[in-house]
Amino acid sequence: MRFAPVSPVRAYERVVEQIEAAVLDGRLGPGEHLPSERELMVQFDVGRSTIREALRVLQSNGLVRSRPGDPRGPQVQPMSSGALEKSMTMLARASALSLAELVQFRMLIEGSANQLAACLRTPEQLAEMEQALDEMRTALDEGFAEFSRADVAFHETVAKATGNTLIQICGAVVRDVVVSLIEDKIAHAPDSRALMMTSLQHHANVLDAVRDGDGERAARLARQSLYDYYAEYVPEEQRAALLPLLY
């Protein structure tokens, strides 16, 4: 047996790993400053270009912020979902992911979101969902673009009711990508108003299930409505991957 040659790890990657570890385990907290560039060079025993490349990566990831001329060194930033959302968006938009995979994942994530929302929503959150549905009704006469925005607002209120940040991020990213892939086809379909009416009824049914606290029905309705709305845009040979989620 033969193993393939490996590439040596670049020094700046080791610098990034150590600083990331210090932030994640709490040795460096939000608002604290890293040592100066010169001190980092001494501690890591590397050159200036290595430190600058590591800091560039850390700043790109939203972990630190560097200010030109600041003698205190780069500042550690509070953890946020921005980097995760950016990475997921890039992955979801990659040509390696098929529309079938994206719709399948959306059926999974939104079914779960509806199920949790039905069990965990507050009266105030339920009122927000009802308001979002009213806005969808109003948008029927304003065109597909306005209806789509109201539709997104409804899904956002449901995801918010789960109290789960990952569900909110993942759901928003995949929803935006799926919609962008077929939005033009739906907007210019000869029966676009009929499609909007069907979508509105699906959302009304989901809201009824959430109001009743019926998580299982809310989840099933979400998966079915997504299949009904998007399946025809998925290549026929790939639709079988969506069917297990309907039962």
pLDDT at 8: 58
> Is the model's pLDDT at 6 over the cut of 50?
no
> Which residues have CB under 8 Å from 41's CB, separation 6+?
47, 48, 50, 51
For the segment 11-27, what is each residue's pLDDT rounded down to a tens digit?
Answer: 889 989 999 888 888 89
> Cα separations (Å) of 104 from 55, 64, 100, 216?
38, 36, 6, 18
- C-beta separation of 78 from 166 below 8 A: no
Per-residue pLDDT, averaged over 107-127, amounts to 96
Asked if residue 175 lies in contact with residue 152, where contact means CB atoms within 8 angstroms, the answer is: yes
Average pLDDT, the chain: 86
pLDDT for 87 beyond 50:
yes
Mind listing the pLDDT tens digit for each residue in 47-62? 889 899 999 999 888 8
CA 195: distance to chain centroid? Answer: 25
pTM over 0.85: no
The model's confidence at residue 153, banded by pLDDT at 50, 70 and 90, is very high
